[in-house]
Chains A and B, each alone.
Chain A
Amino acid sequence: MNGPLIVQSDKTLLLEVDHEQADACRRAIAPFAELERAPEHIHTYRVTPLGLWNARAAGHDAEQVVDALVQYSRYPVPHALLVDVAETMDRYGRLTLSKHPAHGLVLTTTDRPVLEEILRSKRITPLVGARLDPDTVVVHPSERGQIKQTLLKLGWPAEDLAGYVDGEAHPIELAEDGWALRPYQKQAVENFWHGGSGVVVLPCGAGKTLVGAGSMAQAKSTTLILVTNTVSARQWKHELVKRTSLTEEEIGEYSGTKKEIRPVTIATYQVLTTRRKGVYPHLELFDSRDWGLIVYDEVHLLPAPVFKFTADLQARRRLGLTATLVREDGRESDVFSLIGPKRFDAPWKEIEAQGYIAPADCVEVRVNLTDSERLAYATAEQEEKYRFCATTATKRKVTEALVKRFAGQQILVIGQYIDQLDELGEHLGAPVIKGETSNAQREKLFDAFREGEISVLVVSKVANFSIDLPEATVAIQVSGTFGSRQEEAQRLGRVLRPKADGHQAHFYSVVARDTIDQDFAAHRQRFLAEQGYAYRIVDADELLAES
């Protein structure tokens, strides 16, 4: 009765990390409980139906879950909660999707009333065909994704045992010359391959691309990689050429500018979701080759139409990569049913402790608005308020002071508003990368930054995703997309890549005091604070006085 775990009535689990059994306990509960917050002393896990089904999908049963709870719990676990866990887990696997030699895809049940119940649902009826016997019903192969999605909504998630097509074979090997997959990356690849399809959750900078590459080497087949934007596509290509046996010629780019289809094709979400006259002209990409593996980069940003396409791709192996399953639109359950259950995750701090990502010092700098600015802020239109306080002139002074302090290090200044960025670029004498900057220009600037020719770069939100700036050690955020939590995580990720010299990374967020800027900042930071990245808060005056 002195375990590290406390089970709360709202089905959260509190894990005391300093407890001697904490590691063992974490391993026991990780399969079924979602890590929600990981601040310094007590980590919060949440037991959700999705998590319990994830665990079932990974081969754990209710008894293991109950045992883990009972074994590590400090206080008696409410009986009702245990019963609920068992009942919830019992719902998974009553229905299975499998291949029938004669009828193609069939839905089978081990519990007839369940099948009766779901067949009565109006949403299921159009997806199924003839009833073969009391326990089996034919499913239209094209509705494999749709039916999984619907069944999950009805609370009877189906186990998908229908298998995958192998796709067109293509030799891919990892070229491990002078480097090797890290243990957790290997584990992630293994878990994914064993599970068939699913999502791997790793912090930014933890090498998600390599998990992708590892999976491709495992699949040895043609692969379609979906990424957020062109820069990211180029980086994937670059990384794949470097880390695998693939050559430039084997990798195609399918974007707004190029339409290459090769054994490994990297496409952007944007080109896929382009709509002309009500149709998606680039959809045929999915059918253009017999893909054996589809990789979704940054699953948490997956646009809604891609979910729809994905529903039709259920026979192909799918790998989702992300830093966080938190979606601002709350479509986590679609990720579960269409891409697959979570196959691997590791808390940021743990990977940081292993030395694979850089430790970071996060500081929020609070600037005071001047009296005239305060008056202007008070009278500003509601929709203008954020812009007004986010671009206050005082922020410029603070940014300049910070740039001066870290002179000689690679510094990124990140912001939302172009005017503000242009002005900052001018004052700092640094180039600005924004939406209108051409891709060629962007890459040139990135290269220069990488080489150390430029030490300060001002970027807008176009740089939010997937750009790799290995030597950035300081990031200064002057404004953000309102309260977006995942944007904050991504931006912090910019400085988390391990530094050659083991330098500590710095992340500064400059915030206007007593305004909605501060409220948004608090909302954004909460996610990181919950990941264990505590913010210090300093006053701008102090900071200016120091420098």
Chain B
Amino acid sequence: MSNPAVPPRSLAEALRARDDDSLAALLRARPDLITPVPTDLTQLATRAGTRASVVRALERLDLFALRTAEALAVAADPAPYAELEQLLTGDAGDPAVSAALPRSLGTLREQALVWGDDDRLRLVRTARELLAPSPQHPSPTGLGPTVQEATAGMSPGRVQEIVTAAGLGSTHDAVSAVASLTALFTDRKRMSALLADLPEESRAVLSRLVWGPPYGQVTSEPAAHLRRLLDLGLLVPTAPGTVVLPREVALHLRGGRAHREVEPLPPAVEAAATHRPQVVDATAAGQAYTALATVEELLKDWDEGGPAVLRAGGLSVRDLKRTAVALDVSEPVAAFWVELAYAAGLLASDGEADERYAATPAHDEWLEQPPARRWARLAEAWLTATRTSGLVGGRDAKDRTLSALGPGLDRGAAPEVRHRVLTLLAGLPEGASPSAESVLARLRWERPQRREEDLRSRLAEWTLKEAELLGVTGRGALSGHGRALLGATAPKTRDAVSRGAGDERHGQTLPGTTAPKTPDAVSRGTGDERHGQALPGTTAPKTPDAVSQGPGDKLPVHHRPAPAVAEPLSPAEQATASAAAARLLAPLLPEPLDHVLLQADLTAVAPGPLRRPLAEVLDVLADVESKGGATVYRFTPGSVRRALDAGQSASDLHAFLAAHSRTPVPQPLTYLIDDVARRHGHLRVGAASSYVRCDDDALLNEILADKRAAGLRLRRLAPTVLAAQADPASLLEGLRAMGFAPAAESAEGDVLITRAHAHRTPPRSAPEPVPDGPPVPDATLLAAAIRAVRAGDLASTTPRKQGDRPPLSTGELPRTGAAETLATMQAAVLTGEALWIGYVNAEGAASQRVIAPVRVEGGFVTAYDHTADEVRTYPLHRITGVAELAGD
């Protein structure tokens, strides 16, 4: 590595000085920097300075790191550590902020947003541009430009006037004048004295602008109290009518603070209620079981062909409603289950021409798995999916409704937010359920939202709801299996998270203690400790040790262990975690039963989940009346018939019930099955294309025995009736070929007499006459035509005033220059005279017209056209020329 004694002169050099671990940390935090892999560090530094990358990095900062960057953006460039600290803590100082600053600065350094040692902290230029105040982009700090920037456009004379008014000696040039003014504004004592002299109204004006926006409007004749502020340079005009409060003045008024509130520590996630962990686990397990039952029910409902796929993709609102009713849940919840099954690969579109949703083969495999594994699969799919069912029913940017299973539901942030929310829950003691607001507040601190309409908060709210539905949480608290799903056993997770929740506190309270920390944490702890030593107070000069290597200089990179914000697990890790969760959940789920209780009121109660084969048969044999922990089935004639239709015999059913009932089979049920079986199949229904009927049994015997009849596929239904699969015409033909003389019968049983039919078209109307020439014009049309002809005639024959140009021959278009055309037109408007113009229409056809211009504007002339006898508008550029008509 390079010599740390020489301060780096550029970001590239600063990067070069970093060790591999620290570079790795940078790339982990900003993965966009290595796609594609840069050739050298200079290129890496360049890429790290590109606008897109910096914006992305800034968006991922927590609130305090962002505040630090913002403060740095309004500080001098480069800024010493002390200045930055003062901007954040204010003149009064704030130990919490001071303690937290090394960490946040470390973060910025690690992400290559800040470089340089503590004496010369530099925010990368792009970040500075993004965060520094400008009239177009007001800074979140609410600060305005510096005196120097604000007075840049001012005349030197005016600057000298201000300097004098402020009671400073005049200088030889504007630069030094501004410098002395800046010095005045940053000197707290002199500044206080200066402000104390101001009238009350003037101070009120300043206090209105102090927290931003720093711009104000003034009239061209400002009142005396404003005048005074302008004279002293406490307000600087930026544009006519606009003044700005220079940054130094605002900072003085704010007590040196760049932000009104800094929030150095993340808000704690508060427990709203605490339940016994057993209760939480049991409730969650109960809900997990419900989740399985619901998904199974959904797919069973769609078993024989689910709803159709919309042309634009997704499920129609009506189908979603129907599904919600079938599952007995609200529509958003139904959308959640549908999306969950989809994310878990259990259902998909079948891709046929008439596209429908259906269960996938994976669904059948899934059904075979033990319940806990099935749940783990759902939970894992949910945790890692980018699809978000919460959006269903909303509208996208193009105002199209977002439908379940449809496009536009993917949100990249979803897996990370879900994981983060659950990790926050895991940070609470077992059994504690947090208040939603505190979780949201925490998330907002960790990732302040600027652009989007706070998608993360919505995602987090959905996460809390969905986790409860899925049984990851119970009564709002994370369950044991939910913890395992996050990839850590309970105690370890809690430690990691408390670190995440307040790692800065370690720096504060536990510097170098032997608190149980992971090795990573310890090394970071020492890093923090060093900060603690190096910076005992804000104003104290740095220790010799820290002069060359300030707090931030020690890139805390490799000392950053697991990132403060736990990241989602890799697929392999997630699989292990899911398996662990399944193991924890398995004993909590009810054991499937192999028996039911039969009752005389023709119900069967399964006092828990049933083994699959048993449930499948019962589903056919009886109607489900009530669901939940248990299932109540009711036997009805209809349901028993259904079982018989499915190929069961009455004795099968008796045997089945006897085998699976823990109680004697009630007599009414036995009777019901026998009674239905007695009548089942009594009537037979089939399809035949035609029949043969004959009173003579022997003749039908003969036909049946005949080999030639095989093709007709005849079957005897009754002694005197044969049914055939051939159509009546073929049957007739076949029988005739066999030497019989059959007659056709109508539906009513009459003998049909066959005779040739006359062929007819459907109703048709007679053809319309098509005349050869145009129709004879009527009187109105004729009058109009004549008038047009006359006007044209007038245009071509009226004698024109002869100018100094040679007279135009008849039929030739007048030609004048554009300027002359315009002038003549305008003159004609004033005099009301008619003009003779040459005009080329859009098709290029030239004509001569006589017009009386009314208005000339915007390249068009509006005129009364004598030729057409109406007011028309002509584009001037189509007018070839103009000539005055000769006087009468």
Instruction: Write the residues of chain A forming the contact surface with B, with a CB cutoff of 8 angstroms.
Output: 1, 6-10, 12, 14, 16, 37, 39-42, 44, 73-79, 514, 526, 529-530, 534-537
Tell whether, in the assembled complex, residue B290 and residue A534 are in contact, meaning their CB atoms are under 8 Å apart. Answer: no
**Is the pair A42, B626 in contact by a Cβ cutoff of 8 Å?**
no
Contact (Cβ within 8 A) B632 A8:
yes
Contact B601 A76 (CB under 8 A): no
A76: chain B residues within 8 A (beta carbon):
282-283, 285-287, 474
Instruction: State which of B590, B628, B671 has its C-beta within 8 Å of the C-beta of A9.
Output: B628
In whole Å, how far is B124's beta carbon from the nearest beta carbon of chain A? 50
B605: contacting residue among A42, A526, A537, CB under 8 A? A42
Given contact pairs A9-B627, A10-B628, a sample of 16 additional A-B residue pairs in the complex whose CB atoms are under 8 Å apart: A1-B282, A6-B629, A7-B629, A8-B630, A12-B628, A14-B626, A37-B603, A39-B603, A41-B663, A44-B626, A73-B629, A74-B629, A75-B289, A78-B287, A79-B475, A534-B601
Q: Bound state CA distance, A524 and B626, in angstroms? A: 22
When distances are taken between beta carbons in the complex, the residues of chain A under 8 Å from B608 are 6, 74-75
- Do A536 and B667 touch (CB < 8 A)? yes
**A75 to B468 Cα, complex, angstroms:** 17
Complex interface: chain A residues within 8 A of B286 (CB): 75-78
CB distance from B203 to the nearest CB of A (A): 46
Across the two chains, which residue of chain A brings its CB closest to B661?
A: A41
Complex: A211 Cα to B607 Cα, angstroms: 38
| CB contacts between A and B, total, < 8 Å | 100
27 A-B pairs (CB sep. < 8 Å)? A1-B282, A6-B607, A6-B608, A7-B629, A8-B627, A8-B629, A10-B328, A16-B607, A39-B601, A39-B603, A41-B599, A42-B599, A42-B603, A42-B605, A42-B607, A74-B608, A75-B590, A76-B283, A76-B286, A76-B474, A77-B283, A78-B286, A78-B628, A526-B601, A529-B602, A534-B600, A534-B668
By CB atoms of chain B within 10 A, which of A7, A79, A514 has the most?
Answer: A79
One of A12, A40, A77 near B663 (C-beta < 8 A): A40
Q: How far is the CB of B756 from chain A (nearest CB, A)?
A: 44
Q: Which residues of A contact B474 (CB under 8 A)?
A: 76, 79
Q: Is the CB of A79 within 8 A of B601?
A: no
Does residue B679 face the partner (Cβ distance < 8 Å to A)? yes
CB–CB B628/A8 < 8 A: yes
B residues near A514, Cβ cutoff 8 Å: 679
Q: A1-B282, A14-B607, A79-B283 are in contact. Are A7 and B628 (CB under 8 A)?
A: yes
Residue from B282, B475, B601, B607 having most chain A Cβ neighbours under 10 A: B601
In the complex, are the beta carbons of B668 and A535 less than 8 A apart?
yes
Interface residues of B (CB under 8 A from A): 282-283, 285-287, 289-290, 328, 468, 474-475, 590, 597, 599-603, 605, 607-608, 626-630, 632, 663, 666-668, 671, 679
User: Which residues on A sit within 8 Å (CB–CB) of B602?
Assistant: 529
A540 CB → nearest B CB, Å: 13
- Bound CA span A73–B601, Å: 24
Nearest-neighbour CB distance to chain B for A512, whole angstroms, equals 13
Tell me, in angstroms, the Cα distance from A248 to B549 when the chains sit together. 113
Closest to B283 in A: A76
By a CB distance below 8 angstroms, the chain A residues around B627 are 8-10
A-chain residues with CB within 8 Å of residue B607 when the two chains form the complex: 6, 14, 16, 42, 74
CB atoms of A537 and B328 under 8 A apart: no
The docked-state distance in angstroms from the alpha carbon of A7 to that of B626 is: 10
What's the minimum C-beta distance from B179 to chain A, rounded to whole angstroms? 65
Give Cα distance in the complex from A241 to B608, angstroms. 55
- In the bound assembly, the distance between CA atoms of A14 and B603 in angstroms comes to 12
Q: Which residue, A41, A74, A514, has most C-beta atoms of chain B within 10 A? A: A41
Decide: A8 near B626, CB < 8 A? Known: A41-B663, A75-B286.
yes
Instruction: Report the minimal beta-carbon distance from A360 to chain B, rounded to whole angstroms.
Output: 13
With A42-B597, A79-B474, A534-B666 as contacts: A9 and B328 at CB distance below 8 Å: yes
How far, in angstroms, from A178 to B283 measured CA to CA in the complex? 56
Chain B residues with CB below 8 A from A1, complex form: 282
Asked whether A535 lies within 8 Å of B630 as measured between CB atoms, the reply is: no
Q: Which residues of A contact B666 (CB under 8 A)?
A: 40, 534
A514 to B676 CA separation, bound complex (whole angstroms): 10
Nearest first, the 10 closest Cβ-Cβ pairs linking A and B are A76-B286, A534-B600, A8-B628, A75-B629, A529-B601, A39-B599, A6-B630, A9-B628, A537-B671, A6-B629
Chain B nearest Cβ from A42, distance in angstroms: 4
In the complex, what residue of chain A is closest to B609 when comparing beta carbons?
A75
CA distance A537 to B666 in the complex (A): 10
Q: Closest CB of chain B to A492's CB: distance in Å?
A: 15
Q: Inside 8 A of A73's CB, which chain B residues have their CB?
A: 629
B681 to chain A, nearest CB (A): 15
Residues of A within 8 A of B283 (CB): 76-77, 79
In the complex, which residues of chain B have a beta carbon less than 8 angstroms from the beta carbon of A14? 605, 607, 626, 630, 632
- CB contact between B599 and one of A40, A75, A535, A537 (< 8 Å): that residue: A40
Q: Which among A41, A79, A530 is the interface contact of B597 at CB below 8 angstroms?
A: A41
- Asked if A12 and B601 make an inter-chain contact with CB atoms under 8 angstroms apart, the answer reads no
By beta carbon, the residue of chain A nearest B475 is A79
A9: which B residues are within 8 A, CB to CB?
Answer: 290, 328, 626-628
The answer for the CA separation of A529 and B598 in the assembled complex, in Å, is 13
Minimum C-beta distance from A47 to chain B (A): 12
- The answer, among B282, B599, B628, B667, for a CB contact under 8 Å with A6, is B628
Residues of A within 8 A of B605 (CB): 14, 41-42
A40: chain B residues at CB < 8 Å are: 599-600, 663, 666
Shortest CB distance B284–A (Å): 8
A534 to B, closest residue via Cβ: B600
Residue numbers in B under 8 Å from A7 (CB-CB):
628-629
Closest Cβ of chain B: how far from A72's Cβ, in Å?
A: 12
Q: Are A536 and B668 closer than 8 Å at their CB atoms?
A: yes
**Closest-CB distance, B479 to chain A (whole angstroms):** 11
**Bound complex: CA of A393 vs CA of B602, how far in Å?**
30
Q: Which residues of B contact A74 (CB under 8 A)?
A: 607-608, 629
Contacts of A12 in B (CB 8 A): 626, 628, 632
Q: What is the chain A residue whose CB lies nearest that of B672?
A: A537
Residues in A with CB closer than 8 Å to B289 are 75
- Cα of A41 to Cα of B669 in the assembled complex, Å: 15
Shortest Cβ distance from residue A337 to the other chain B in the assembled complex, whole angstroms: 28
CB distance from A233 to the nearest CB of B (A): 36
Report whether B600 and A39 are in contact in the complex, using a CB–CB cutoff of 8 Å: yes
User: Which residue in B287, B290, B632, B667 is a CB contact (below 8 Å) of A44?
Assistant: B632
Contacts of A77 in B (CB 8 A): 283, 286
Minimum CB–CB distance from A531 to chain B (whole Å) comes to 9
* Residue from the list A42, A79, A537 in contact with B668, Cβ < 8 A: A537
By a CB distance below 8 angstroms, the chain B residues around A16 are 597, 607
Nearest CB of A to B480, in Å:
14
Which residue on chain B has the smallest CB distance to residue A513?
A: B675
CB distance from A38 to the nearest CB of B (A): 9
Min Cβ gap B592→A in Å is 13
Q: How far is the CB of B510 from chain A (nearest CB, A)?
A: 39
Say whether B600 contacts A535, CB under 8 Å.
yes
A394 to chain B, nearest CB (A): 17
Report the bound CA distance from A536 to B628 in whole Å. Answer: 31
Q: A44 — which chain B residues lie within 8 A by C-beta?
A: 626, 632
| Closest residue of B by beta carbon distance from A514 | B679
Task: Give A39's nearest chain B residue, CB to CB.
Answer: B599
Interfacial chain B residues near A78, Cβ < 8 Å: 286-287, 290, 628
User: A130 CA to B764 CA in the complex, in Å?
Assistant: 78
A534 and B601 alpha carbons, distance in the complex (Å): 7
State A526–B608 Cα separation when bound (angstroms). Answer: 25
Distance from B613 Cβ to chain A, minimum over Cβ atoms (Å): 22
Residue of B with least CB distance to A529: B601
A388 and B671 alpha carbons, distance in the complex (Å): 25
A204 CA to B605 CA, complexed, in Å: 29
Interface pair A530/B601, CB less than 8 Å apart: yes
Chain A residues contacting B630 (CB-CB under 8 Å) are: 6, 8, 14
Q: How far is the CB of B779 from the nearest CB of chain A, in Å?
A: 68
B359: shortest Cβ distance to chain A, in Å? 23
Chain B's closest residue to A81 (CB) is B628
Q: Which of A8, A37, A536 interacts with B601 by CB under 8 Å?
A: A37
Q: Which residues of A contact B671 (CB under 8 A)?
A: 537
